[in-house]
Amino acid sequence: MRHPTSSAMLRLYGRGTAGRAVVRRMVNRFEGGEIYSDTLRDIFRQYHRVDVGAYTHGGCFVPHAFGPGTTIGRYTSIARSAFAATLDHPTHLKGMHGFFFNPELGLTDAERHYSPLEIGSDVWLGHNSVISASVSTIGHGAVIGAGAVVFKDVPPYAVVVGNPGRVVRYRCEPETIAELLAERWWERDVTDLGRDLDAFSEPFAPARDAGVQHLRSS
């Protein structure tokens, strides 16, 4: 959804940081909130280098909570306290202070290299979860539990908890995961999915231990 003032709001956001929070609130009000707002997605794509898919909502729209180079799929739910780094302090340098690697502080012209991060569709990132810069992929349908600190890529439909984060189970059996990944229901519009709403309200059987072991070894 885009309001007739969309282009003006986008330009206004680019003029500086002082009024950016106000612009975001206005855009949300005009376009039905962050679940539906196309202009909010334009803002984060252009000014924060965070590409957010349709119907995704939450902490991905908190500036600087997700680093530049992050791509997030559709229908993903993110706690407002979640954080994903795409840049670490350089431990290989003599000094780790921003003076020595951040050109915005005026003492170096070194280029900052952000690591790309791809978060899938239908993902849930819980309260205070942290995705480190060593992670490149969070698979479709994955769950990152509250307080988890993730250092490795997460397979589709895995449930990750703890610090360091570890896969404790999968949301469903391998056969069901394969079917969901092939179906790619998240590519459909929500108005289309509404016709099959009962299918999304019915639970599927959780993965057996054998299924978890099979996926871990694949």
- Residue 78 identity (one-letter amino acid): I
Q: Establish whether 89 is a catalytic residue.
A: yes
Q: Alpha-carbon distance 28 to 127, whole Å?
A: 22
Q: Alpha-carbon distance 132 to 88, whole Å?
A: 8
The structure tokens listed for 110 are: 């070194």
Q: Alpha-carbon distance 214 to 157, whole Å?
A: 13
Angle at 59 between CA 169 and CA 74, to 5 degrees: 65
* From 3, 48, 57, 89, the catalytic residue: 89
CA-closest candidate to residue 135, choices 164, 106, 177, 176 = 164
Task: Say how many residues make up the chain.
Answer: 218
Catalytic residues: 89
